[in-house]
Chain A
Amino acid sequence: MAALLEVDRLSVAFPTATPVRELSFAVERGETLAIVGESGSGKSLTALALMRLLPPAGRIASGSVRFGGEDLARLDERAMRRVRGAEIAMVFQEPMTSLNPLKTLGAQIGEALRLHEGLSRRAARARAIELLDLVRIPEPHRRVDDYPHRLSGGMRQRAMIAIAVACGPRLLIADEPTTALDVTIQAQVLALLDRLRAELSMALLLITHDLGVVAQWADRVIVMYAGAKVEEASPHVLFERPLHPYAKGLLAASPRLETTRHYRDGPLTEIPGSIGSAARERGCAFAPRCPEAVSACRAQVPALTFAGEDRLVACPVALHTESREAPSPSIADAISTSSRRGEVRRPVL
């Protein structure tokens, strides 16, 4: 069976730049795919391109987005509107401003239902209450008539999620859904998204720069840099043995509380330079910041290569080093720890 969403060599172009270049990935039914990368790596633009909601200056320059037998990149606007909200829905980063301040929660949830499913006002209201209950908003009967400003940030994000899943989409795109929330609420919201993913049998495309989120909730991870996929792997493999120097840098630069001694000991490192250096780079976009760069890196863009089962990396240098070095005992130990952790990865809310 074909994957739910297949993105094939997608490029997003603006008049002055091409922030997403030849990006390919697939989302399987019911899985959680995470896209990570720093600000400016093209994660959010990818999400907007899938929804065909790019800013006016941007356009899909090439590539296809296969979803349910159709190429979303070529669908006309009217048909696309039927896909948005009903088939693919989106949760945004900023819950404080993502709700219309002048409409009640019930009206906002109900509007999507009435548009896509043709429910009556009364039925839409009843469904809205059910949905508020589904996203664990207390006292949904009263909350349904509340205006957004009466809700906290976490509650608003729950309401946003309720609106997004109202019409039972098959794919939910969550663009940094927890960045604006505090840490305790983050875990709740992610647990909620994960529970809904299972209960409503939808796939989740999680866009984030929080590696902790990836480690805990994703089935697969795509690491993006300067609009291109540089590594794809399952999270425990990626976290224990990142191959691409950028992925290594990201992991080294994030504080970790887990029991993997590997990155915890010693100070946090940073990746020198900024993503801006990728703009006019000829070869590998990461080369100017890469500690392992060789002269060949600047000659041509490195191709994505399989580095084992279900694992892709776009760095011939790392692949070369990897094949020569056997995993050290401490790393092997760490992998077994992580796979044990993997079994209990999904706490129930």
Chain B
Amino acid sequence: MSLSETADARSAATVARARALTPQAPADVPPEWSNVHAPDARKAATRSVVRPPDRRRALRAFLRNPNALVGVLLLAGVALAALLAPALFPGDPLAMVGRPVLWPAQNPRFPLGTDRLGRDVLAGLMHGARVSLAIGFAATAFALTTGVAVGAVAGYCGGRIDAALVKLVEIFQAVPGFILLIVLVAIAQPSTLTLVWAIALVSWPQVARLTRAEVRAVRAKEFVEAARSLGYGHGRIIVREILPNALPPIIVTASVMVATAILMESALAFMGLSDPNVVSWGSMIGSGRELLRTAWPLTAIPGLAIVVTVLALNLLGDGLNDALNPRLSAER
């Protein structure tokens, strides 16, 4: 290495340090390259990195994100438990199968012990995963369908239709969500289906508001006007031009909504407002509550399952957000 090169390297290091110390140096300026004297070239290169060209790139960014991967793996584990539950525990998880209040690992037949009525905790946990995931995803699906439809129509049409739909959304949002949920479930017979509907009814306004805001933003873009100038109808413009461009934040919200729905179901089950004929994590916590001081694992184990599932969905949401939104922000 020649003397001048080392000197160059040293001065470059000094420049870098000075930059780090100067607070007003903009964060997005790439580091100085002493051998390149074309600032535009460097900027251009950075821009193409910031803006992934297609959805495959977004997928790769998503899978490179360690948080997102952990989320996917945890969720896959929960889903696997839900799928394997009927195979591994073919009987009714609510059946009394052993001595009551066995601690975990006390009896090899019941690795996680038994509850106050002698029901297998592991069987309950795995069957509970079925209920939690089913309710979480079904409620989110209904809420998304309703919310996206209402939000898209309101955002696209504007005017009186928009005002009327926003009022409708506001009526739902005026009542605290969980109170409304309790009232709905208390009126209807608590079953899995009514739970799904009730949770969907409580969560769709959020989707509708988000979709409306996104659609309004996209509607103002020129390609929508270009689509109108080509004679496309309103339905085609909403479905094919606007919604795909408004989707990324909605997808991110959906993953968090699943988590929220699972929490809502657990809370209802804890209070005994869930379907009494199926085992769910919330109802397991509820029945373990009375033995909290003597047999805390009865509460802790299903609680942990909820924590893991909700955490997984939130990590997934964060990962999706990171993968889908930089492109959006670069384009706006």
In the complex, chain B residues whose CB is within 8 Å of the CB of A147: 53-54
Q: B209-226 interface mask toward A, CB cutoff 8 Å, 1 = contact, 0 = none?
A: 000000000000111011
Cross-chain contact A81 with B231 (CB below 8 angstroms): yes
Q: Chain A 96-123, CB within 8 Å of chain B: the 1/0 string?
A: 0111111100000001100110000000
Interface residues on B, range: 20 to 34
Contact B225 A92 (CB under 8 A): yes
A97 touches B230 (CB 8 A): no
Given the contacts A97-B223, A100-B223, A147-B54, A53 and B229 also touching, CB distance less than 8 Å = yes
Contact yes or no, A90 B226, CB < 8 A: yes
Contacts of A94 in B (CB 8 A): 222
Write out the residue numbers on chain A whose beta carbons fall within 8 Å of the beta carbon of B231: 80-86, 112, 115-116
Interface residues on A, range: 20 to 34
A207 proximal to B (CB < 8 A) = no
Q: Mark B319-332, 1 if CB is under 8 A from A, else 0.
A: 00000000000010
- Select one of A82, A90, A111, A150 contacting B229, CB under 8 A: A90
B332 to chain A, nearest CB (A): 10
**Complex CA distance for A56 and B229, rounded to whole angstroms:** 15
Is the CB of B159 closer than 8 A to any CB of chain A? Answer: yes
Contact B226–A51 (Cβ < 8 Å): no
Check: B89 CB closer than 8 A to any chain A CB.
no
Q: Distance in Å from the Cβ of A332 to the closest Cβ of chain B?
A: 44
Judged by a CB distance under 8 angstroms, whether B26 is at the interface is no
A84 to B232, CA, bound (A): 8
Chain B residue at minimal CB-CB distance from A51: B229
Cα–Cα distance between A32 and B225 once the two chains are bound (Å): 23
Residues of A within 8 A of B167 (CB): none
Determine if B289 is an interface residue (Cβ-Cβ < 8 Å).
Answer: no
> Closest A-chain residue to B221, C-beta based?
A97
Among B219-247, those with CB < 8 Å from A are 221-223, 225-233, 236, 240-241, 244-245
B100 located at the interface, meaning its Cβ lies under 8 Å from any Cβ of chain A in the complex: no
Chain A residues near B233 (CB-CB < 8 A): 81
State whether the Cβ of A155 lies closer than 8 Å to any Cβ in chain B.
no
State which residues 243-265 of B face A: CB under 8 Å: 244-245
B158 interfacial contact with A, CB 8 Å: yes
Distance to closest chain A CB from B50 (angstroms): 12
Residue pair A100, B53 in contact (C-beta under 8 Å):
no
For residues 32 through 63 of chain A, which have their beta carbon under 8 Å from a beta carbon of chain B? 51, 53, 56
A330 to B232 CA separation, bound complex (whole angstroms): 54
Point out the residues of chain B lying under 8 angstroms from A115, CB to CB.
230-232, 236
The complex places the Cα of A58 from the Cα of B53 at a distance, in Å, of 38
Q: State A51–B54 Cα separation when bound (angstroms).
A: 33
In angstroms, Cα B226 to Cα A90, docked, is 7
Contacting pair A101 B245 (CB below 8 A): yes
Is the pair A149, B53 in contact by a Cβ cutoff of 8 Å?
A: yes
On chain B, the residues within 8 Å of A84 by CB distance are: 228-231
Q: Are B226 and A92 in contact (CB under 8 A)?
A: yes
A160 at interface, CB cutoff 8 A: yes
**A336-B154 Cα distance, complex, nearest whole Å:** 60
Decide yes or no whether B51 CB sits under 8 A from chain A.
yes
A89 at the interface (CB under 8 A from B): yes
B47 → chain A closest CB, angstroms: 10
Q: A90-B226, A164-B230 are in contact. List 13 more A-B contacts (CB 8 A).
A: A53-B225, A81-B231, A83-B231, A84-B231, A85-B231, A89-B230, A97-B222, A97-B223, A99-B226, A103-B244, A111-B232, A147-B54, A160-B226
14 CB < 8 A contacts A-B: A85-B230, A85-B231, A90-B226, A93-B222, A97-B223, A100-B223, A100-B227, A102-B245, A111-B240, A147-B54, A149-B331, A163-B226, A163-B230, A164-B230
Residues of A within 8 A of B (CB): 51, 53, 56, 80-86, 89-90, 92-94, 97-103, 111-112, 115-116, 147, 149-150, 160, 163-164
Chain B interface residues toward A at CB < 8 A? 51, 53-54, 158-159, 221-223, 225-233, 236, 240-241, 244-245, 331
